[in-house]
């Protein structure tokens, strides 16, 4: 299909992240948002009024029943990703689903099967892959400029960053876990995409809950529910080994006694290394030039990652590109997350 038509998009879930998608979609001339659904219908109505969206639904199945809608963006809580995506695909809608892909591996596998059955695009919204710095590092790696990567040190750590205390965010049954599946998933995805998804061999993980149970370390993201519960971790650490000899360490925390929030990814390569700081948008390259250490600050041309992500989704619908974040890659990340939780529970390393 060529781009002389506008793809009609429906948004499912009108909470915090839907706003970011709506802003990005506005910049993609080949698409327009024609409907939005949320069980909290007033949320959907407010979002619709703000963005000039003509149709509002309290039940997303009504949105899926609209024949003119080509594709949906799924922005509901984690426990609803799989079911909503599978219903959307079965209704013939291409689907862009927020991260984490699913709560667990069987759900992710079922989503992949549903996309195959429907013959529709299923893409996971791993926006950080589209950041200019990340794309730049991918280019370096693809050209072999850093040599073999033998270690990755990555993490997303916050000082006071527990989202929506008591809401779905802090309930295992509704979120699948705490910061590991919420923000650790971003860094695992980014790191392993950069290095080409090597085969994992073993996973050792541990989780902690020092702040959440005491209602400390809270942030303003999400809607707090004072009557809700907190039964997830507020910090997780992991070490993963891979068949090619590479190791990866991950820190993910919503709250901790540290200086400030940090989102980092360090690659250790035989010929060079890089440090990405996604809080400060900095990228540093470390090499040896004529036997001396050379440190280079790279300033890639800034592009809006969510606009790039949505462009890639539309390109996939038009058959001119593959989705950059495939569901198979997201399943691989779901497997690692599941193994980290299993290791934390058993106190033993998990072999994959």
Ligand X SMILES: NC(=O)c1ccc[n+]([C@@H]2O[C@H](COP(=O)([O-])OP(=O)(O)OC[C@H]3O[C@@H](n4cnc5c(N)ncnc54)[C@H](O)[C@@H]3O)[C@@H](O)[C@H]2O)c1
Where on the chain is the footprint of ligand X (CB under 6 A)? Answer: 12-17, 37-40, 43, 60, 75-78, 80, 98-99, 125, 127, 182, 222
Contact between 286 and 272 (Cβ < 8 Å): yes
* Structure tokens given for 300: 């890639």
Gap between the Cα atoms of 132 and 154, Å rounded: 18
Tokens of 26: 């506005």
φ and ψ of 235, to 5 deg: -155, 145
Nearer to ligand X, 170 or 207 (CB): 170
Q: How far is the C-alpha of 151 from the C-alpha of 301, rounded, in Å?
A: 27
Burial class (CB in 10 A: 0-12, 13-18, 19+), 197: middle
At its nearest, how many Å lie between ligand X and the CB of residue 80?
5
The answer to whether 236 and 180 are in contact (CB under 8 A) is yes
Question: Cβ 261 to ligand X, closest distance in Å?
Answer: 14
Instruction: Tell the burial category of 262 from Cβ atoms under 10 Å away from its Cβ (0-12, 13-18, 19+).
Output: middle
Closest to ligand X by CB, 150 vs 264, is 264
CA 73 from chain centre, in angstroms, equals 13
Count the alpha carbons within 13 Å of 124 in the hemisphere toward its beta carbon: 28
Residue pair 334/102 in contact by the 8 Å Cβ criterion: yes
Of 205, 179, 11, the C-alpha closest to 93 is 11
Q: How far is the CB of 306 from ligand X (least distance, A)?
A: 8
Q: Which residue is nearest to ligand X (CB)?
A: 15
Whose Cβ is closer to ligand X: residue 149's or residue 236's?
Answer: 236
Give 83 or 315: the residue with its C-beta nearer to ligand X: 83
Residue 350 CB, nearest distance to ligand X (Å)? 24
Q: Residue 41 or residue 201: which is nearer to ligand X going by CB?
A: 41
Closer Cβ to ligand X, 16 or 92, answer by number: 16
Q: How far is the CB of 13 from ligand X (least distance, A)?
A: 3
Closer to ligand X by CB, 72 or 146: give it. Answer: 72
Nearest distance from C-beta of residue 263 to ligand X, angstroms: 11
Considering the complex, what minimum distance in angstroms separates the CB of residue 183 from ligand X?
A: 8
DSSP states along 311-336 = HHHHHHHTTSS--SS-HHHHHHHHHH
């Amino acid at each position: 299909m060529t781009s002389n038509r506008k793809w009609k998009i429906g948004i499912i879930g009108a909470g915090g992240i839907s706003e970011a998608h709506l802003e990005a979609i506005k910049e993609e001339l080949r698409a327009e948002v024609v409907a939005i659904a949320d069980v909290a219908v007033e949320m959907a109505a407010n979002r619709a009024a703000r963005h000039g969206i003509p149709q509002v639904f309290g039940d997303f199945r009504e949105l899926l029943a609209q024949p003119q809608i080509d594709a949906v963006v799924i922005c509901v809580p984690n426990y609803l990703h799989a079911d909503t995506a599978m219903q959307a695909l079965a209704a013939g809608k291409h689907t862009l689903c927020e991260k984490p892909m699913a709560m667990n591996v069987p759900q992710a596998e079922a989503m992949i099967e549903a996309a195959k059955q429907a013959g529709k695009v299923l893409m996971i919204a791993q926006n950080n892959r589209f950041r200019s710095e990340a794309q730049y590092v991918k280019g370096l790696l693809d050209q072999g400029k850093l040599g073999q990567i033998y270690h990755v040190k990555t993490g997303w750590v916050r000082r006071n960053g527990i989202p929506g205390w008591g809401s779905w965010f802090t309930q295992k049954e509704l979120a699948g876990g705490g910061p590991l599946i919420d923000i650790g998933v971003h860094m695992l995805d980014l790191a392993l995409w950069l290095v080409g998804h090597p085969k994992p061999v073993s996973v050792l993980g541990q989780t902690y809950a020092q702040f959440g149970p005491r209602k400390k370390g809270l942030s303003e993201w999400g809607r707090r529910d004072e009557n809700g519960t907190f039964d997830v971790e507020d910090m997780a650490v992991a070490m993963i080994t891979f068949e090619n000899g590479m190791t990866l360490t991950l820190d993910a925390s919503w709250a901790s006694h540290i200086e400030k929030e940090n989102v980092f990814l360090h690659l250790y390569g035989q010929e060079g290394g890089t440090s990405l700081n996604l809080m400060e948008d900095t990228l540093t390259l470390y090499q040896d030039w004529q036997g001396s250490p050379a440190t280079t600050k790279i300033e890639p041309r800034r592009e809006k990652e969510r606009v790039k992500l949505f462009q890639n989704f539309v390109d996939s619908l038009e058959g001119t590109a593959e989705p950059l974040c495939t569901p198979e890659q997201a399943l691989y990340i779901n497997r690692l997350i599941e193994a980290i939780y299993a290791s934390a529970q058993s106190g033993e390393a998990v072999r994959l």
